Structure 1
Amino acid sequence: MIARWTTLATGLMLAACSAGSDTAERMNGNGVSLRNLADTEVARDAAERDFRLQGDLIPTPSDTRSRYFLLRERKALGGTIIAILRQEQGSRVAYARAEVDCGKRLFHVLGVGPSRASAEVAIAHDGPLRPIAGLPLREELAGYVCERSGTPLAAA
């Protein structure tokens, strides 16, 4: 009987790990796609639009399908900026925690989730900070985050 429960528990853990790593692998191809985050299983339906943190709308002319909001930003010990972002697309909403190096024009996603709290603790496997050149959405988000933090984004 114990062997049967152990086998069942092991199977459930493997299934849970497989589902999580599958999601991470799909998102890890070229990093996390912020433009398509609301289309993934990370997002949820936004039944109520009365968000506790409204945030500031970020102008993103490169993505007219979605609306992005800066919920908060803070300086990290190394001088980079950590930002919490919300993407709204139709009835779907997703959150991301991103790191921006304003002086070096670098950006990466630290965590994503269906809520602000889950994005704060999640690990997105987006890789190291990377240049934003050629990535208009990341450049628009980084520019806004840097401006709001009082550290302007360095010239290209």
Structure 2
Amino acid sequence: MNVNGKMVAALTAALMMSACSGGTEPGNVAGEGNGVSLRNLADTEVAAPAGDRNFRLQGTLIPTPSDLQSRHFLLRERRAVGGNIIAILREERGDRIAYARTEVDCARRLFHVLGVGPSRATAEVATVYDGPLRPMAGLPLREELGAFICERAGTPLAKG
């Protein structure tokens, strides 16, 4: 196994352990036990130093009044075969960045995380078990991200 393969294996193991920690910090779904915290992703081992912030995809800043410590950017979104929206997000906090691939069902107000990583490419191919699509209700950051993603995709988030 080459160095990159070992790094990806270690990252995947760390993600699986943190994803299954069962914490109830903001951004996790209390009682689910498999939530991935988007609110604190840049504070985890998944994040990387931001470097010079000369990103190939700058993205669009998402207003997130529930998380004033981080900046969240929508890099791209696409409609999946079933109609849900797959979005790539970047979280910046201080000198750290992390990426997430999410899925949103705009009509049913459901959201989950498909993958996370220290780079956009890693998040696009990584798999993290965040559980099935589940309601955003009571999770302000996920509601803010979901509403922005759905609006950008031309399918406004259904009323809650």
Distance in 2 (alpha carbons) for counterparts of 1:77 and 1:154? 20
Distance 1:55 1:20, change over 3 A: closer
2:110 aligned partner: 106
State the secondary structure of the residue aligned to 2:141.
Answer: helix
After TM superposition, the structure 1 = structure 2 runs for residues 116-155 of structure 1, keeping only pairs within 5 Å, are 116-155=120-159
Structure whose alpha-carbon radius of gyration is higher: 1
Distance 1:146 1:24, change over 3 A: same
Distance 1:19 1:150, change over 3 A: closer
| Equivalent of 1:52 in 56, 59, 64 | 56
The letter of the residue matching 1:137 is: L
The letter of the residue matching 1:105 is: R
| Equivalent of 1:88 in 70, 88, 92 | 92
Distance in 2 (alpha carbons) for counterparts of 1:81 and 1:69? 16
Q: Supply the RMSD in Å over aligned alpha carbons.
A: 1.8
Q: CA deviation at 1:25?
A: 2.4
Q: CA deviation at 1:124?
A: 1.2
The letter of the residue matching 1:88 is: E
State the secondary structure of the residue aligned to 1:86.
Answer: strand
2:28 aligned partner: none
Distance in 2 (alpha carbons) for counterparts of 1:55 and 1:20? 25
Identity of aligned residues (%): 68
Q: Normalising by structure 1, what TM-score?
A: 0.86
State the secondary structure of the residue aligned to 1:145.
Answer: helix
State the secondary structure of the residue aligned to 2:142.
Answer: helix
Return 5+ residue gaps in structure 2 as ranges: 2-7, 23-32
Task: Point out the more displaced range, 16-25 or 106-115.
Answer: 16-25
2:16 aligned partner: 24
The letter of the residue matching 2:140 is: P
Return 5+ residue gaps in structure 1 as ranges: 1-8, 10-15
State the secondary structure of the residue aligned to 2:122.
Answer: helix
Distance in 2 (alpha carbons) for counterparts of 1:137 and 1:21? 26
Q: CA deviation at 1:85?
A: 0.1
Distance in 1 (alpha carbons) for counterparts of 2:14 and 2:56? 31
The letter of the residue matching 1:131 is: P
The number of residues matched between the two structures is 143
Q: Write the deviation string for residues 76-100 of structure 1: whole angstroms up to 9, x where unpaired.
A: 0000000000000000000000000
Q: Which structure dedicates a bigger proportion of its chain to helix?
A: 1
Distance in 2 (alpha carbons) for counterparts of 1:18 and 1:118? 13
